[in-house]
């Protein structure tokens, strides 16, 4: 059996279920556990996607659209990678192709979800720009310029429209993520159509909102703790550039673990009711 075959499951019967809020912390912990099984494999997947995204951005307009459309497949790909890793299979780029290798109907549905997510993101950007009057874009342009004027940065940060626009972007992006959180996985494993998958995902996130909220708080705690420890270490060792140097690899690591943990949010929210169900949420001992 090839490594990709466990990813090509046929339709499974799914039943929505509710879990305690404490599972939100378990999802984070399981993400780190499964990451430890194949760290290079998981980091390689995320790095591959980042590189493909940079290449896509070289294409005016079309590149941005393709990158936005690929985000749901990124999440599903990592779910498939985690699914395979729990069975002892090393993550490979095949996880990003697997969603399109099932039936033509599911391939079409996945593409519809990708296009819908991209369109929703664009609408959020347009609406947020209207809300803040372009303050966020002006601030980004200021930071990306060759020389950063501290006085101008302070002036931009003092603009209340910047805070309002940033809050609007964050809030609307969070709302958009709810229907798409499980949607691609529901199409892949459950054979659901696009509207049904979006509705089922929304209902699952709402029923398990306590676990999702605690998961978000746990990740926030990890970020804050890492920042504090890193800053203290840099201060004690007198390494002024240490934080800047470690920030990029740390961001890559945490982003990879986050995506690796998405599978556990799915299998906790939906119960597989046939004999070929994926492994349980507990990754088991790491060897």
166 pLDDT band, cuts 50/70/90, is confident
* Cross-strand bridge partners of residue 14: 272
Average pLDDT over residues 40-61: 91
DSSP 188-209: HHH---HHHHHHHHHHHHHHTH
Percent of the chain with pLDDT over 90: 59
Query: What span, in angstroms and rounded, lies between the C-alpha atoms of 179 and 278?
Result: 22
Does residue 241 or residue 285 have the better pLDDT?
A: 241
pLDDT tens-place string over residues 63-82: 889 999 999 999 999 999 99
pLDDT tens-place string over residues 207-217: 999 999 999 99
Which residues, in sequence order, are CB contacts of 61 under 8 Å at separation 6+? none
pLDDT at 86 over 90: yes
Query: What span, in angstroms and rounded, lies between the C-alpha atoms of 169 and 189?
Result: 31
Among the residue ranges 47-61, 232-246, 265-279, the one predicted with the least confidence is 265-279
In 3D space, the residue among 115, 247, 110, 248 whose CA is nearest the CA of residue 183 turns out to be 110
Which residues, in sequence order, are CB contacts of 36 under 8 Å at separation 6+? 286
Query: What span, in angstroms and rounded, lies between the C-alpha atoms of 259 and 240?
Result: 31
147 pLDDT band, cuts 50/70/90, is low
Task: Read off φ and ψ for residue 270, nearest 5 degrees.
Answer: -130, 130
Query: What span, in angstroms and rounded, lies between the C-alpha atoms of 285 and 282?
Result: 9
For Cα atoms 25, 260, 109, give the angle at the middle one, nearest 5 degrees.
115
Query: What span, in angstroms and rounded, lies between the C-alpha atoms of 22 and 25?
Result: 6
Per-residue pLDDT, 71: 94
Q: How would you class 26 by CB atoms within 10 Å of its CB: exposed for 0-12, middle for 13-18, buried for 19 or more?
A: buried
11 pLDDT band, cuts 50/70/90, is low
Task: Report the predicted TM-score, pTM, of the whole model to 2 decimal places.
Answer: 0.86
On whether the CB atoms of residues 66 and 56 are closer than 8 A, the answer is yes
Per-residue pLDDT, 29: 96
Does residue 129 or residue 202 have the better pLDDT?
A: 202
DSSP-derived letter for residue 5 is: G
């Amino acid at each position: 059996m090839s490594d990709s075959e466990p990813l090509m499951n046929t339709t499974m019967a799914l039943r929505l279920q509710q879990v305690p809020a404490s599972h939100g912390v378990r999802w984070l912990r399981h993400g780190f556990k499964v990451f430890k099984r194949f760290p290079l494999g998981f980091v390689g997947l995320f790095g591959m996607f980042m590189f493909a995204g940079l290449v896509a951005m070289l294409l005016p307009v079309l590149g941005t659209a393709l990158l936005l459309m690929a985000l749901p497949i990124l999440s599903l790909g990592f779910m498939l990678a985690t699914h395979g890793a729990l069975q002892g299979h090393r993550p490979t780029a095949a996880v990003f192709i697997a969603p399109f290798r099932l039936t033509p109907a599911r391939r079409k549905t996945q593409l519809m979800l990708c296009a819908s997510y991209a369109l929703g993101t664009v609408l959020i950007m347009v609406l947020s720009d209207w809300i803040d009057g372009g303050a966020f874009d002006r601030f980004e342009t200021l930071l990306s310029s060759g020389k950063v004027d501290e006085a101008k940065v302070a002036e931009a940060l003092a603009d209340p429209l910047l805070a309002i626009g940033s809050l609007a972007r964050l809030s609307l992006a969070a709302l958009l993520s709810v229907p798409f959180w499980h949607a691609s996985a529901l199409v892949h494993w459950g054979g659901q159509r696009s509207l049904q998958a979006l509705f089922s995902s929304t209902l699952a996130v709402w029923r398990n909102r306590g676990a999702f909220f605690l998961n978000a708080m746990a990740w926030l705690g990890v970020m804050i703790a890492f920042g504090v420890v890193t800053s203290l270490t840099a201060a004690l060792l007198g390494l002024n550039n240490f934080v800047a140097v470690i920030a990029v690899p740390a961001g890559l690591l945490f982003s990879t673990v986050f995506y690796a943990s998405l599978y556990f949010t799915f299998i906790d929210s939906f119960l597989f009711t046939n004999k070929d169900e994926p492994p349980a949420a507990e990754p088991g001992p790491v060897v």
